[in-house]
Amino acid sequence: MIIFGASGDLTKRKLMPALYTLYKEKRLPEEFVVLGIGRTAYADDAYREHILKEMDRFITPKERVEGTMMEFISHLCYLTIDPAKAEGYGLLDQRLQELTGEKKSDNLLFYLATPPSLYGVIPLHLKGAGLNRQHTRIIVEKPFGYNLESAQELNKVYASVFEERQVYRIDHFLGKETAQNILAFRFANGIFEPLWNRNYIDYVEITAVENLGIEQRGGFYDGAGALRDMVQNHLIQLVALTAMEPPAAFNADSFRNEVVKVYESLAPLTEEDLNEHIVRGQYTASSTKKGYREEANVAPDSRTETYIAMKIGINNWRWSGVPFYIRTGKQMPTKVTEIVVHFRETPHQMFRSKGGAGKEANRLILRLQPNEGMVLKFGMKVPGPGFDIKQVMMDFSYSELGGLPTGDAYARLIEDCIQGDPTLFTRSDAMEASWRFFDPVLRYWKEHAEAPLYGYPVGTWGPLESEAMMHEHGAEWTNPCKNLTNTDQYCEL
């Protein structure tokens, strides 16, 4: 495995812990070698020492198996070259011959943990050095392009170097056990799938928010924003898992065909949608935390969104007329990723809700993180006289399985790639279909400088306008904790 960007944050924070997990569980080939590539100068021993030190930060003592860490570290090597320059790839080929003992080893996995600007450069240099061999595979991180045109250009580059079966566009959300369990929940249980349509579901909301800012990623994030960073890949994947038809068989082609069908069924965004059904925001300072524009490497007049909420529709027989509300944001009150399915109310209300709160329909909450699991909310009679109804919860949590680990998303996806299983990776046509839907949003913001960007204080649930967007459907966001105080601090930026 050759990791480009081996001295970077992603490698030490995610890739090395994932590889260690695979190693200690004996899920890697015995003679594997990881060759790190980067511009930072390291000898092999110095790189091993660097990674060993970083592992103390990202691997807890409980996750270690005695004696395995030093064994794992011994499989690491390093080569100092500039991935942007073609002349270093001859040295890479030479080093691979030394490590494998073969002149043209074909058992290679490249991982691009680099800035996106190198995604289109590295494959061409690999081709120039003859390293794009028949069974070689390559994993590419997000974002795969910045808009439809750039994604199409990248796909052309990869098609000129590799076959589609060799390209693995990674989205770590699909490596999460809880994301995969959405499929098992839907298609392995006969009691839910008959209800999974417009006749019984009123609306769906999908939330992926976190209580952190951009941390040290100002340079990257100010050129990307929430739509590129989260919506075009992570959230739309969750929409697909929720809305897709049952695959004919659970294999890579059938599963990914159904994902593409969802993307191609997304209702095209009209000018009214761009104005009324999309709310973007940017977090502003609180008494204790800085605002987005005060973050390092962020322009003082930045118009980059750190929050986005959208109403989208799916034009097919199953979902016609059912709105999907999606949102993501930084500096929220908590970190949570969940899907909430709101079922339609009963056609006739015979009973009163406890406390006179009004009607409450059934809800199914699929929680991806934290507290992974699911909750079904339904009405039950309150003990005592009368027929007052109160919502109760039937819940399941992975933590109740006796501490059974939910698994590391990167470990799962890297292992799938090693085994040649692309099921949970994004195919080129899906990537382009997703960008085709979101491209008008980016173009509209670029062409209309006056398009609203709303400020929201750190620690709140985003702009109040996102709440108003839901009200036209008689809906509201499911917030684990309501925090919409200090409304005078909300503003248009």
What is the 3 state secondary structure string of 94-124? HHHHHHHCCCCCCCCEEEECCCHHHCCCHHH
For residue 412, is it within any domain?
Answer: no
Active site residue 234: yes
Question: CATH no. for residue 100?
Answer: 3.40.50.720
Please indicate, yes or no, whether residues 331 and 468 belong to a single structural domain of this protein. yes
* 353 has pLDDT over 70: no
Please indicate, yes or no, whether residues 387 and 461 belong to a single structural domain of this protein. yes
* 260 has pLDDT over 60: yes
Query: Which pLDDT band, with edges at 50, 70 and 90, does 486 fall under?
Result: very low
Please indicate, yes or no, whether residues 316 and 458 belong to a single structural domain of this protein. yes
Please indicate, yes or no, whether residues 180 and 309 belong to a single structural domain of this protein. yes
* 256 has pLDDT over 70: yes
Say which range, 152-156, 205-209, 347-351, has the weakest mean pLDDT.
347-351
* 360 has pLDDT over 90: no
Q: What is the pLDDT of residues 453-478, one digit of tens each?
A: 999 999 999 999 999 998 888 888 98
More confident residue, 68 or 349: 68
Number of domains in the chain: 2
Cβ–Cβ contacts within 10 Å for residue 211, how many? 14
Terminal CA-CA length for the chain: 46
Please indicate, yes or no, whether residues 455 and 393 belong to a single structural domain of this protein. yes
Catalytically annotated residue among 50, 172, 234, 277: 234
- Mean pLDDT, the chain, integer: 89
The whole-number pLDDT of residue 381 equals 73
Please indicate, yes or no, whether residues 440 and 332 belong to a single structural domain of this protein. yes
Residue 418, classed as helix, strand or coil, is: helix
The pTM of this model reads: 0.89
Query: Which pLDDT band, with edges at 50, 70 and 90, does 176 fall under?
Result: confident
Query: Which pLDDT band, with edges at 50, 70 and 90, does 254 fall under?
Result: very high
For residue 82, is it within any domain?
Answer: yes
- The side-by-side arrangement of strands in the sheet containing 76-80 is 76-80, 34-38, 2-4, 109-112, 137-140, 167-169
- Give the C-alpha distances (Å, rounded to integers) separating 3 from 73, 129, 143, 428, 474: 15, 17, 17, 22, 49
Query: Which pLDDT band, with edges at 50, 70 and 90, does 487 fall under?
Result: very low
Domain containing residue 168:
2-173
Looking at 173, 197, 229, the residue that finishes a domain is 173
Question: CATH no. for residue 333?
Answer: 3.30.360.10
Looking at 133, 148, 173, the residue that finishes a domain is 173
Residue with tokens 């680990």: 405
Looking at 124, 142, 173, the residue that finishes a domain is 173
Please indicate, yes or no, whether residues 219 and 155 belong to a single structural domain of this protein. no
For residue 419, is it within any domain?
Answer: no
